[in-house]
Copies of this chain bind each other. A is one copy, B any other.
Amino acid sequence: MEKIINGKALALQYQDDIINFIKEREATNLRLPAISLIQVGNDGGSNYYRESVKKLCEKLKITVKECIYEENIEEKVFLDSVKAVDEDINVDGILMLMPLPKHIDSNKAIDQISQGKDIDGLTDNNIGKFYSGKKAFIPCTAKAVLAILESLPIELEGKNVVVLGRSNVVGKPVSNLLIGKNATVTTCHSKTENLKEVCKRADILVAAIGKPKFIGNEYVKEGAIVIDVGTTYYEGKLTGDVNFDEVSELASFITPVPGGVGALTTTMLLSSLCEACKNNV
């Protein structure tokens, strides 16, 4: 197996599962999965993400319903619209593109999404289920990290994992997923002391802090697996948290940026959509 993990190739494998799922539904005359993309305003990152989801949906024959609202939409009107989208029985899952404008309370907006359509794992209910070890939708980046680790010829059980970052959408859910896989997990962050020393003990290092090229050789044990979740624009290029040229010498497996974790997230989202579709009777 290649040392440099190929996120795109792994994405294609997961896409095959989606294609098969859809073929089966077609063969039995079932409705194809449908996703609703909700966006307010014209944020560049949101536009980019929405377009990439649309493109993949087109390829996979997934129905897309775009709900794009003016930046200055009233909160109440927006919340009611989200509620209506959620109640549409022909919508299986909802992706709400963040950030929302400041005059809209994102918690309230998320609360309009029912648990079964919350394919990005944003609702309190899904989050609670996830941390209690029940079946739940989880943020697709965390799901992508696990998919990558599970594609490697290693056991996660007993591994010493260091997760750098404690965000609700990456650091914390990745930690919880890996505890569930019987790894020993240390969660680090900006206040961690002796960070190099802690990271250097890791069999698996997951970096999700958004600091370009922060992780150099001095943070990495020889033979460690390094998963780079960082995506920052730096000197005009999408750049990870890991100094790839340096660390790839030491690591046994490493994800590149781009082409690593990021290459999988949209596919993971649509995998969750298929799950939601299956349950949306």
Contact = CB atoms under 8 A, between A and B. Distances in A.
A53 B128 CA distance: 27
A217 interface: no
Given A124-B129, A133-B168, A189 B184 contact: yes
Interface string A154-180: 000110100000101000100110010
A29 B157 CA distance: 58
Interface stretch (A79-87, A191-199, A223-231): A191-199
A69 interface: no
A12 B131 CA distance: 32
A185 interface: yes
A132 interface: yes
Of A128, A129, A160, most B-chain CB atoms within 10 Å: A128
Contacts of A129: 124, 127-128
How many copies of this kind of chain does the complex include?
2
Interface residues of A, number: 34
A127 B132 CA distance: 8
A198 B125 CA distance: 34
Contact of A131 (B123, B131, B157): B131
A182 B187 CA distance: 10
A6 interface: no
Nearest to A107: B134
A107 B133 CA distance: 12
A90 interface: no
A188 interface: yes
Interface string A140-154: 000000000000000
A186 interface: yes
A182 B192 CA distance: 8
A184 B165 CA distance: 11
Interface string A51-79: 00000000000000000000000000000
Interface in A264-280: none
A235 to B, nearest CB: 31
A39 interface: no
Contact of A172 (B131, B157, B186, B192): B131
Contacts of A107: 134
Q: Which of A129, A182, A191 has the most CB of B within 10 A?
A: A191
**Which 6 A-B pairs give the minimum distances between C-beta atoms?**
A124-B128, A128-B128, A127-B128, A182-B191, A186-B186, A184-B192
22 contacts: A107-B134, A124-B125, A125-B125, A125-B128, A127-B127, A127-B129, A127-B131, A128-B128, A128-B129, A128-B130, A128-B131, A131-B168, A158-B191, A158-B193, A160-B193, A172-B176, A172-B179, A184-B188, A184-B189, A184-B198, A185-B187, A186-B187
